[in-house]
Amino acid sequence: MPVLHAPTPRHARRPLAVLATLLLIATPFSQVAAQAAGANGEQNPGMSGFQPLDRIVAVVDDRVITQQELQAEVAQLGGQVDLANMSPADEQRLGERVLDRMITEATMLERADKIGIQIDDTRLNQALNGIAQRNGMNLSQLRDAVVGQGQNWADFRNGIRDQMILEELQKREVYSQINVSDRDIDAYIEQRTGSSAEQTEYRLAQILVSVPENASPEAIEQAEARAREIRDELVDGADFARVSAERSDALNADEGGDLGWREPARIPSLFLPVVQGMEAGEVSDIIRSPNGFHIVKVNDTRTTTGTAAVTQYRAEHVLLRPREDRDPTATRELAEQLREQVASGDATLASIAREFSDDPGSGQRGGDLGWVNTEDMVPAFADALESVQTGQLSPVFESQFGFHFLRVNDQRRQEVSGEDLREQARNAIGERRADEELTKYIRRLRSEAYIENRLTGTVNDASGQRALGRQ
């Protein structure tokens, strides 16, 4: 499946669909940014020779975020949000939420600059070579694929560099402070592999309404009111993923707030007692934390038995991504048509993948993903792997990368070594703690930064917020 472990920061002019394959595999304990995607600002043909003014919409310390960057970022939500039919008020609200998430990442990059984190060209080229290899390409072919999809190669490189900087920042200032003891690991393994280690796992998603550090009582009341308004929408039947993309402050908001499958040991302690009392499909009440107000949804549950083995799948797939000349509805319709050709025998999955798939790595191999683990895949893809019978085509399904259909050709049980099992335990425990610590860390960075948000007309100067005249 897609193999790109190099998501890039949302505000950094990100790479486009060629990296979808790199992102379908989840990165345990260190994944922070969203999947790679990008868009270039367009210029009116009648203005040839002129550079249009690109209005600044936010200032974060020494960085600026421009209107074009914000518009490009919003455009990437086309798969989750019906942008064409949004009201002006909803467009404004969506823009504010997306800009807030871009500000968070700009704040983190500013911090990285201040403490001297740099990624030199040697490390960057090593990462790019790894991306290319995981997609069945060499570096020259990767560059051709990026440019062929309308992206600027220099911007693509800078996006990967920024992501590497963010990962290094989190390792240095968050993850390195998290201690996972041998006793913690032993207890986790005993729980997972004991003779009666049957437990319920939960597929979760969350929406966060953040509260700034040292917020006034009025700001806290406003945040809580916003959270309750969001929850009311959800209870009335609004789509959780859409509302997340439009209104959540969480870093993974544009991924529907999806937290994936979580066993109890990997669920934040504040959520656990609430989640354990919920049924599949249920939305929680407001959960207050030091970071703000959370709404959690249990998308599904399953019962598992602890084991030191994992199920692997030999699979092949086709991925179609929405693009400028093909909106999400048309993309899904095309995926359905192509799947029907394979199901009826009019075409093979391999031939369809080579001609149509937007996953360049597996597409060149006729859609072949080799042996894959569900634990390494994004939730939507993992669910499809587990639900389809061997030899059968899955229905068309949607992930944050586009629309897929797949076929599982074989399954096997693969034993996990003792060393690998302990590493899995360390990652699982660390991931749960990192979820909590990273949010606290981001709140502190934002409270200490100079942030001027020209969409909302507010400024944070580390001593509170005051109204700004709109510009």
Average pLDDT over residues 379-397: 90
- Phi/psi region, residue 109 (left: phi>0; alpha: psi -120 to 50; beta: rest), is alpha
| Residue 256 confidence (pLDDT) above 70 | yes
Determine the pLDDT at residue 263: 80
Q: What is the rounded distance in angstroms from the CA atom of residue 33 to the CA atom of residue 105?
A: 9
Largest CA distance in the chain: 73
**How big, in percent rounded to 5, are the helix, strand and coil portions of the chain?**
45, 20, 35
Are 300 and 280 in contact by the 8 Å Cβ rule? The answer is yes
Determine the pLDDT at residue 395: 94
Q: What is the rounded distance in angstroms from the CA atom of residue 145 to the CA atom of residue 135?
A: 11
| Residue 383 confidence (pLDDT) above 90 | no
CATH number belonging to the domain at 182-307+420-450, selected among 3.40.190.80, 3.40.30.10, 3.10.50.40, 3.40.228.10: 3.10.50.40
Reported as a pLDDT band with limits 50, 70 and 90, residue 180 is confident
Q: What is the rounded distance in angstroms from the CA atom of residue 395 to the CA atom of residue 388?
A: 9
| Residue 5 confidence (pLDDT) above 70 | no
The position carrying tokens 């959780």 is: 240
Strand partners for 458? 453, 467
Q: Does domain 310-415 correspond to CATH entry 2.60.40.10? A: no
Work out the mean pLDDT of the chain and round it to a whole number: 80
Determine the pLDDT at residue 423: 78
The position carrying tokens 């570096």 is: 139
- DSSP, collapsed to helix, strand or coil, labels residue 134 as helix
The segment with the largest mean pLDDT, out of 60-64, 77-81, 150-154, 356-360, is 60-64
| pLDDT (tens digit per residue) in 258-285 | 888 888 877 888 899 999 999 999 999 9
Least confident segment among 140-149, 164-173, 174-183, 191-200: 191-200
Angle, CA of 254, 257 and 259, to the nearest 5°? 130
Determine how many CB atoms are found less than 10 A away from the CB of residue 324: 10
| pLDDT (tens digit per residue) in 59-116 | 999 899 999 899 888 887 766 677 777 888 888 888 888 898 899 999 999 999 999 9
Determine the pLDDT at residue 338: 96
Average pLDDT over residues 290-310: 81
| Residue 195 confidence (pLDDT) above 80 | no
Reported as a pLDDT band with limits 50, 70 and 90, residue 305 is low
CATH class of 17-39+52-176: mainly alpha
Higher pLDDT among residues 53 and 339, named by residue: 339
Angle, CA of 416, 27 and 121, to the nearest 5°? 120
| pLDDT (tens digit per residue) in 324-354 | 778 888 899 999 999 999 999 999 999 999 9
Determine how many CB atoms are found less than 10 A away from the CB of residue 183: 8
Over 174-190, what HEC string results?
CHHHCCCCHHHHHHHHH
Least confident segment among 378-392, 425-439, 454-468: 454-468
- DSSP, collapsed to helix, strand or coil, labels residue 75 as helix
Are 306 and 192 in contact by the 8 Å Cβ rule? The answer is yes
Least confident segment among 16-20, 292-296, 377-381, 404-408: 16-20
Average pLDDT over residues 155-183: 88
Average pLDDT over residues 153-181: 89
Reported as a pLDDT band with limits 50, 70 and 90, residue 323 is confident
Q: What is the rounded distance in angstroms from the CA atom of residue 75 to the CA atom of residue 9?
A: 15
Q: Which two tokens stand for residue 354?
A: 């080579």
- As a whole-number percent, the residues of the chain with pLDDT over 90 amount to 36
| Residue 198 confidence (pLDDT) above 80 | no
| Residue 4 confidence (pLDDT) above 60 | no
Considering the entire predicted model, what is its pTM?
A: 0.58
| Residue 2 confidence (pLDDT) above 50 | no
Determine the pLDDT at residue 306: 54
State the pairing for strand pair 63-66/198-210. unpaired
Q: What is the rounded distance in angstroms from the CA atom of residue 199 to the CA atom of residue 263?
A: 8
State the pairing for strand pair 451-453/397-399. unpaired
Least confident segment among 96-110, 230-244, 261-275, 410-424: 410-424
Domain ranges of the chain: 17-39+52-176, 182-307+420-450, 310-415
- As a whole-number percent, the residues of the chain with pLDDT over 70 amount to 81
Determine the pLDDT at residue 12: 34
Q: What is the rounded distance in angstroms from the CA atom of residue 373 to the CA atom of residue 355?
A: 26
Determine the pLDDT at residue 462: 64
Q: Do domains 17-39+52-176 and 182-307+420-450 have the same CATH topology?
A: no
Are 321 and 402 in contact by the 8 Å Cβ rule? The answer is yes
DSSP string, 328-354: HHHHHHHHHHHHHHHHHTSS-HHHHHH
Higher pLDDT among residues 465 and 397, named by residue: 397
Q: Which two tokens stand for residue 332?
A: 């899904």
The segment with the largest mean pLDDT, out of 227-231, 252-256, 425-429, is 227-231
| Residue 41 confidence (pLDDT) above 50 | no
